[in-house]
A and B are shown apart, each in its own frame.
Chain A
Amino acid sequence: MAAQPSGGEKPFHIVSPVLESLSLSQAAGTKVYMKLENVQPTGSFKIRGIGHLCQEAAKKGCRRFVCSSGGNAGLAAAYAAKKLGLPVTVVVPSSTGPATVRKLEELGAEVEVSGQVWDEANRRALELAQTEGWVSVHPFDHPSVWQGHASLVRELKDSLETKPDAILLAVGGGGLLAGVVAGLHQVGWQDVPIVAAETRGAHSFHAALAAGRLVSLPDITSVAKCLGAKMVAARALECAQECQVISQVVEDTEAVRAVEQFLDDKRMLVQPGCGAALALLYTGRLQRLQREGRLRTPLASVVVVVCGGSSIQAAQLRALKSQLGLE
């Protein structure tokens, strides 16, 4: 079993299954393994890193958590706080849907609405975190979060017999990317290339790579709000220099179509952000990268991180499709 870095305390995440997907393998032309992070508690991989952060903070004697995400990170923080028996305040922007607010309250969190976008909510959360004993839980930009996410790669090492030839994942704020890179270093797989997918309109990582420094997008115009960080974490940019990271941008339509096709193939509904990583397989990006010589030919196997996400429902998928003009 994957070793726990927090000195033997039981983590809040589970060891997610690694399944070979026939349909994805056929679409991509190589063996595709899915790392199913959507079956984690709270529905996404965030519980790994945020659970780790909260456990460490609780050991140091934290009295209250403050998180500034209205999405999966907020749910993960609320879940971790509930497990630890500590109170938590989640500051959400006004664009958060009522369903998410209700889910947060069901998990026992105190919800405060502040600001229009995430950055304003984050500013308010940092203000609150100045209070003595209150700890701020950043959704992606914290070393403990990356350490927690690194458990994903350790589990991959335990499950797979051979090293994969590529790891596909979606990049929002860059927390998963940083965690995966840290994990690759830990298990000695530094040479495995990572293909980082983003949707156009939330492509902060791609823009930063192109500019060579951190840039802030003017606005998030993609429907994949879960990837909606205007500026990616600085660590993500460093990762691109440490490991081989290939940044790909997919269209919103491709991401949503991938979500629909994944629902039909695997009977699991994921958020459009996760659909971006799946779109790499469904739209033949892998083959294109192989032709361009950026990925090895032939690929023995690839791993796609199905990050999941809980803010998606069948009705929302239909609404997205009509919004994007897909049948």
Chain B
Amino acid sequence: MRLRAGPGWGWQGGHRGVMAHLEAMGGVSGARQGFGVRRLPSLHQGSGSNRRSPQMFLAGPEKSRCLCPAGGGKPLGTPKVIWELPLLFPRLLGTHIPAPGHAKATGIWLPGPHMAVPLARPAPRWALSAQIQPRAWKNSPGAEQTAGTRAMFNSCPSSRCATGHGDLGTLARPLRRHLFLLHPPNSAASAGEELGTRSEAPRDTRAPIAGAMAAQPSGGEKPFHIVSPVLESLSLSQAAGTKVYMKLENVQPTGSFKIRGIGHLCQEAAKKGCRRFVCSSGGNAGLAAAYAAKKLGLPVTVVVPSSTGPATVRKLEELGAEVEVSGQVWDEANRRALELAQTEGWVSVHPFDHPSVWQGHASLVRELKDSLETKPDAILLAVGGGGLLADVVAGLHQVGWQDVPIVAAETRGAHSFHAALAAGRLVSLPDITSVAKCLGAKMVAARALECAQECQVISQVVEDTEAVRAVEQFLDDERMLVQPGCGAALALLYTGRLQRLQREGRLRTPLASVVVVVCGGSSIQAAQLRALKSQLGLE
């Protein structure tokens, strides 16, 4: 099988070459059988839509705008040299071939000038693109005007492909080039791997090409979080009996992973012209909202329950937030925050129950995919309101790791997720009796329950004592102090839960590696740890 990745018009063998390539990669799943099988006789004879007058293609910048996800791109012009003639026939050359400068931005190596997709041209029934679902680009600058266009973008059928935007689909040559360059057929990973259908989870972010840094979902704007380190922990690995990688979210600004999702939400809201943020969390989410608002230069009001400590109130005020105390527990503060958010231009920042928050957190899994060479055998995390769980699941879908099991830890007394799973529907705990107040949501988000059906989520409940002991042991082993909520996830490793799950057969044996999300949390100090220990009666 010869793959010609150079320029030229070799269309005759195009789809057959693609099929051969896909076969070499391990076959095509049933749903994709139609791809590449249809012939396009009209293309060779130049009949049908290709016979339309070129005026449509040379309509000028306002009519035919490039829909490159990178944005911009020169509009179609008159072909100057013979090899630019194919520009007149977008069907022949396929979709969108970004200019070299754009190629770098999108990360796909597809040389050639930009080619605009003409507007208002539905794909003919016999056309190849009809086989694959075309979808319009949400992020492109002219998207709202070209809503009727059948953009000829399709996803790469390889389940290993991390390209979020699939500029591959209608014609074989770009697809072959993509496959040839990014998914070589003789790589060990492709042997026997079936090309499944890609997940249809909404993706308005760009997943990175292998080796690149995690792409920014907010269209190139610098996010507020940092790429947190992934470190192998010897002590945790010994305790758990497998290689344990720590995703250190406690070194984020404001000390926890919340800045990812809440920063993303605030950036999106600011773009839409928000004037003020309102957040109803007295914990890490409130700090993250205050930090994001400060970075954006917008005012923020944080409504906290009266149970919040003065240290946290002081930290919020230091970050420039306006603090309002209302209610005894978080739910009452949340109600007040939603009241305030009714004001025109004020945006409510929910700590965990918002799709933008989940999208923002999903960057965590993309970074994991960049850092780790092999897929982990499990991901361990703590569940409070379910925001981290929801976005880790979203991230797993994006990078194609849907089969990685998640072990979700909670403390007894804040186990809203476990109760919801047991009841099969959302339940509200009567009260939060655990010392891990950071996990204290009486009712978990609905999305978290859906996640348990989409992916394999194993819910585990640990005792307060185990969580606090884990915090203490982690401080001694890794010299980092985390909140008891994070200690719940660490307790899974220190108390042998992993081995127990392996014995019960719920986790694979042996486990090659696991990742624990060290969510961090800033409302903890050495004195508080001592107080917790004495409160729980630990030495």
- B475 contacts A269, C-beta separation under 8 Å: yes
Q: How distant is the Cα of A31 from the Cα of B47 in the complex, in angstroms?
A: 68
Tell me if B479 is interfacial: C-beta within 8 Å of chain A: yes
- A314 contacts B226, C-beta separation under 8 Å: no
Tell me if B253 is interfacial: C-beta within 8 Å of chain A: yes
> Which residues of the partner chain B approach A74 to less than 8 Å between Cβ atoms?
none
Nearest A residue (CB) for B482: A267
> Which residues of the partner chain A approach B520 to less than 8 Å between Cβ atoms?
267
Interface string of A101-134 (1 = CB under 8 A from B): 0010011000000000000000000000000000
Which of B209-230 touch A at CB < 8 Å?
213, 226, 228-230
Q: How distant is the Cα of A155 from the Cα of B530 in the complex, in angstroms?
A: 37
- B526 contacts A260, C-beta separation under 8 Å: yes
Which of A245-301 touch B at CB < 8 Å?
260, 263-264, 266-270
With A19-B251, A20-B253, A260-B526 already in contact, the answer to whether A268 and B480 are too (CB < 8 A) is yes
> Which residues of the partner chain A approach B232 to less than 8 Å between Cβ atoms?
41
Interface string of B142-177 (1 = CB under 8 A from A): 000000000000000000000000000000000000
Tell me if B476 is interfacial: C-beta within 8 Å of chain A: yes
> Which residues of the partner chain B approach A168 to less than 8 Å between Cβ atoms?
none
Tell me if A310 is interfacial: C-beta within 8 Å of chain B: yes
Tell me if B514 is interfacial: C-beta within 8 Å of chain A: no
Tell me if B524 is interfacial: C-beta within 8 Å of chain A: yes
> Which residues of the partner chain B approach A103 to less than 8 Å between Cβ atoms?
234
Tell me if A43 is interfacial: C-beta within 8 Å of chain B: yes
Which of A14, A38, A264 meets B479, CB within 8 Å?
A38
Interface string of B42-84 (1 = CB under 8 A from A): 0000000000000000000000000000000000000000000
Which of B226, B238, B315, B522 meets A267, CB within 8 Å?
B522
A21 to chain B, nearest CB (A): 10
- Interface size, chain B (Cβ < 8 Å): 31
Nearest A residue (CB) for B250: A267
Q: How distant is the Cα of A235 from the Cα of B117 in the complex, in angstroms?
A: 63
Of the four ranges (under 10, 10 to 19, 20 to 34, 35 or more), the interface on chain A belongs to: 20 to 34
> Which residues of the partner chain B approach A96 to less than 8 Å between Cβ atoms?
none
Which of B429-478 touch A at CB < 8 Å?
472, 475-476, 478
Tell me if B292 is interfacial: C-beta within 8 Å of chain A: no
Chain A binding surface SS class: mixed
> Which residues of the partner chain B approach A107 to less than 8 Å between Cβ atoms?
234
Tell me if B339 is interfacial: C-beta within 8 Å of chain A: no
- A263 contacts B526, C-beta separation under 8 Å: yes
Tell me if B481 is interfacial: C-beta within 8 Å of chain A: yes
Which of B90-143 touch A at CB < 8 Å?
none
Which of B229, B248, B481 meets A269, CB within 8 Å?
B481
- A14 contacts B234, C-beta separation under 8 Å: no
- B251 contacts A14, C-beta separation under 8 Å: no
A93 to chain B, nearest CB (A): 23
Nearest A residue (CB) for B475: A314
Q: How distant is the Cα of A20 from the Cα of B253 in the complex, in angstroms?
A: 8
- B319 contacts A19, C-beta separation under 8 Å: no
- B234 contacts A19, C-beta separation under 8 Å: no
> Which residues of the partner chain B approach A38 to less than 8 Å between Cβ atoms?
479
A228 to chain B, nearest CB (A): 20
Which of B514-539 touch A at CB < 8 Å?
520, 522, 524-527
> Which residues of the partner chain B approach A319 to less than 8 Å between Cβ atoms?
none
With A17-B229, A106-B238 already in contact, the answer to whether A314 and B472 are too (CB < 8 A) is yes
> Which residues of the partner chain A approach B525 to less than 8 Å between Cβ atoms?
263-264, 267
Q: How distant is the Cα of A134 from the Cα of B229 in the complex, in angstroms?
A: 33
- B231 contacts A14, C-beta separation under 8 Å: yes
Which 8 A-B pairs give the minimum distances between C-beta atoms? Answer: A267-B481, A269-B479, A313-B476, A264-B525, A17-B226, A14-B229, A39-B229, A17-B251
Interface residues, chain A, with chain B CB atoms under 8 Å away: 1, 14-20, 22, 26, 36, 38-39, 41, 43, 103, 106-107, 260, 263-264, 266-270, 308, 310, 312-315
Interface residues, chain B, with chain A CB atoms under 8 Å away: 213, 226, 228-232, 234, 238, 248, 250-251, 253, 255, 315, 318-319, 472, 475-476, 478-482, 520, 522, 524-527
A-B contact pairs, 10 of them (CB 8 A): A1-B213, A39-B251, A41-B232, A106-B234, A263-B481, A263-B525, A263-B526, A267-B480, A313-B475, A313-B476
